[in-house]
Structures are given as C-alpha cells and as structure tokens.
C-alpha cells in the first residue's frame, strides 16, 4: 500500500493510530476553545467554527476506526476552515486588539501549526486509503 505525504505520525506511530490520537487531542483543544473567550463577535465566530470542528473530530475518529474516506474528508474540510479562521482571528488580534497579550497571539500561532500538522497526517492517511482502494479489484484481490 502506497502512503501519501507522511508515512508515520510523530515519526513513530502509524497514520491510522495517529488519526485516532489527533481526533482526541483536537477535540479536547476545540472544547477548551469553545469554553473560553468573551462575547466579541470574532470570538463567537471562532466558537462556532470550533463546534463544527468538534463534529469533524468525531467523524475523524469513526473514519479512522472503520477506514472510511468520506468521514476523513469532513475532518479535512473542517480543519482547513478552522485553520483559516484562526489565521484571520490572529491577524485581527494583532491589528485591532492591541490590548491582548502576547500569550493569546502565541497560543493562536501554536494552534495554527498544530492544525497544519494534524491536517497533513490525516491527508496522508486519506491518500493511503485512496491508493489502497484503487489497487483492489472488484473481487478483493490486488491487481
């Protein structure tokens, strides 16, 4: 089976188990994000995206367990949107909310990097599954 961009998660864990771990870690991170913040409109938008991404994390968990590419795609989409919103939110904080601490901007930067790596691991697993399914014939034997 030819894998996608990465062969392992964190250099030592298989992509499938990495996706399961990513689903749990990313879910916890987004639950924390939903429970902090103010009533500002930008924070509410981030909360809404984080809630949608929590659903994506659950679908990633089930997708990795049953090896379903459809469920992985939903995670990839919500992760991409979550990362874009975090980037926009960080730029907003830097430009307009100068009263915020460096800690918030640094935390957003770390989350953006984590989201990028998580997306890369899940995409690699997805590509591996697609390649595996493409090499199987109708009767289940490899070509």
Q: What is the pLDDT of residues 7-34, one digit of tens each?
A: 898 889 999 999 999 999 999 999 998 8
Q: What is the pLDDT of residues 41-68, one digit of tens each?
A: 877 888 899 999 999 999 999 999 999 9
Residue of 68, 76, 69 whose CA lies nearest to 22: 76
Q: What is the pLDDT of residues 80-123, one digit of tens each?
A: 999 999 898 888 878 876 556 777 788 889 999 999 999 999 99
Residue 143 confidence (pLDDT) above 90: no
Can you give the pTM of this predicted structure?
A: 0.84
Residue of 99, 58, 59, 105 whose CA lies nearest to 86: 105
- Report pLDDT for 98: 59
Q: What is the dihedral of CA 69, 71, 73, 77, to 10 degrees?
A: -170
How is 6-18 classified by DSSP, letter by letter? -SSBTTTB-HHHH
């Amino acid at each position: 089976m030819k894998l996608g961009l990465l062969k392992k998660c964190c250099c030592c864990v298989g992509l499938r188990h990495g996706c399961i771990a990513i689903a749990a870690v990313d879910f916890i991170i987004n639950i924390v994000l939903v429970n902090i913040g103010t009533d500002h409109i930008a924070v509410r938008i981030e909360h809404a995206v984080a809630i949608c991404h929590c659903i994506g994390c659950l679908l990633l968990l089930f997708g990795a367990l049953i090896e379903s590419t459809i469920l992985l795609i939903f995670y990839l989409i919500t992760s991409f949107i979550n990362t874009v919103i975090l980037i926009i939110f960080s730029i907003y904080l830097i430009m307009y909310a100068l009263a915020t601490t460096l800690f918030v901007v640094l935390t957003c930067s770390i989350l953006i990097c984590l989201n990028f790596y998580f997306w890369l691991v899940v995409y690699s697993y997805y590509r591996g599954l697609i390649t595996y399914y493409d090499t199987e014939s109708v009767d289940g034997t490899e070509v």
